[in-house]
Amino acid sequence: MQTGRPATSLASGLFVGVAIGWVAIASPRVGRAPVSDSPPEVIADSLIGLWIDSVGGMETYERFQSATYTVNTVLYDTLSGRVKRTRPRYVWIKKGPKGLEARVERWEPYGFVTQGFDGQAGWAALDGVLLPDTAKDWREVPYVAGDLSYWPGLPYKLRDEGVFLTYRGMRSRPGAEFRPDPKRGAVSPPRNGYHTVAVSFGEGVGDHQDNWHYYFEPGKGFPTEVTYLEEGFTTTHRLIWGETMRFGSIRYPFVERRDFITDSGKRTKALVISDVVINPDIPEPTFERPTSTRGGDR
């Protein structure tokens, strides 16, 4: 499973925010509570602006062209807190001639799966042989490619056209604080709560109208928690953000891990990022579909 649906469509791409640019807004002192009576959109935009500034500014995003990384999905037992199983995926993403390109490789019980996206169309292969477009691994390519490209694009993608930001005030998080050790109690939250920014999307932006909230601890540039509610569902997903690491000569920011937690603060899953390489030379054939085919669905 991935972290959630991409907030904007693959047609928009990871790199749309580059063309839009970023203009710093004269903001209230959002690092403290309470915040001034500025319009909610202005305060929200200020918080996102501070986040962008804290990870190197928009110029860092403009210099980002490609990346390779490994994302390891770690599943936890909520009672003991112990790891139940892990699964690595190997990811290539690149700004290509048709838009965002992506390639993902992973092992499954039924074989070695490769999924690719050239910026417009996707494909999937099993053990190096192209699957039919009716196969499950093929059908899920837009979601997989968008998901594994969207998270490295934050916070910059929140500047995309059609993304609407609204400040919701100082709020507590939607459940208990994170408990890394289930045997210990939850950590006490900030007395005045967290700056909360709601994110929604305009008509035609993305394939789904999911609702997102970002929780910023006063005095910190990047969010402590991100939640999302998928369109058509009633369960809110909670993600706790780990440390933001900087990679490559452009010091591009990646969040090292994201922990999925329950309302009671117990961890169910983590996405752990490693082996990050920024702006490698990725040949175009990396994203091209295999020529050999096979029948049947997977």
Q: In this predicted structure, what is the pLDDT of residue 286? A: 93
The rounded distance, in Å, linking the Cα atoms of 279 and 276 is: 10
Cα pseudo-dihedral 94, 95, 96, 101, rounded to 10: 50
Q: In this predicted structure, what is the pLDDT of residue 91? A: 97
- In a structure prediction context, what are the per-residue pLDDT tens digits for the chain, which is 298 residues long? 333 333 333 333 333 333 333 333 334 444 444 456 788 889 999 999 999 999 889 999 899 999 999 999 999 998 888 999 999 999 999 998 888 899 999 999 999 999 999 988 999 999 999 999 999 999 999 888 888 888 888 999 899 888 999 999 999 988 888 876 666 666 677 888 999 999 988 776 655 567 899 999 998 888 999 998 877 778 889 999 888 899 999 999 999 999 999 998 889 999 999 999 999 999 999 999 888 765 545 5
Question: Burial level of 216, CB count in 10 A (0-12/13-18/19+)?
Answer: buried
The rounded distance, in Å, linking the Cα atoms of 164 and 44 is: 9
Q: In this predicted structure, what is the pLDDT of residue 2? A: 36
The structure tokens listed for 25 are 């807004």
Cis peptide before 34 (omega within 30 of 0): yes
Q: In this predicted structure, what is the pLDDT of residue 69? A: 97
Every domain of the chain and the residues it spans:
16-83+153-279
φ/ψ of 172, rounded to 5, equals: -85, 160
Q: In this predicted structure, what is the pLDDT of residue 116? A: 96
Q: pTM to 2 decimals?
A: 0.80
What's the chain look like in SS3?
CCCCCCCCCCCCCCCHHHHHCCCCCCCCCCCCCCCCCCCHHHHHHHHHHHHHHHCCCHHHHHCCCEEEEEEEEEEECCCCCCEEEEEEEEEEEEEECCEEEEEEEEEECCEEEEEEECCCCEEEEECCEECCCCCHHHHCHHHHHHHHHHHHHCCHHHHCCCEEEEEEEEECCCCCCCCCCCCCCCCCCCCCCEEEEEEEECCCCCCCCCEEEEEECCCCCCCCEEEEECCCCCCEEEEEECCEEEECCCCEEEECEEEEECCCCCEEEEEEEEEEEECCCCCHHHHCCCCCECCCCC
The rounded distance, in Å, linking the Cα atoms of 68 and 104 is: 10
Q: In this predicted structure, what is the pLDDT of residue 197? A: 96
- Taking a C-beta distance cutoff of 8 angstroms, is the pair 260, 236 a contact? no
Q: In this predicted structure, what is the pLDDT of residue 183? A: 67
Task: Name residue, tokens 């993902």.
Answer: 104
The structure tokens listed for 204 are 């035609």
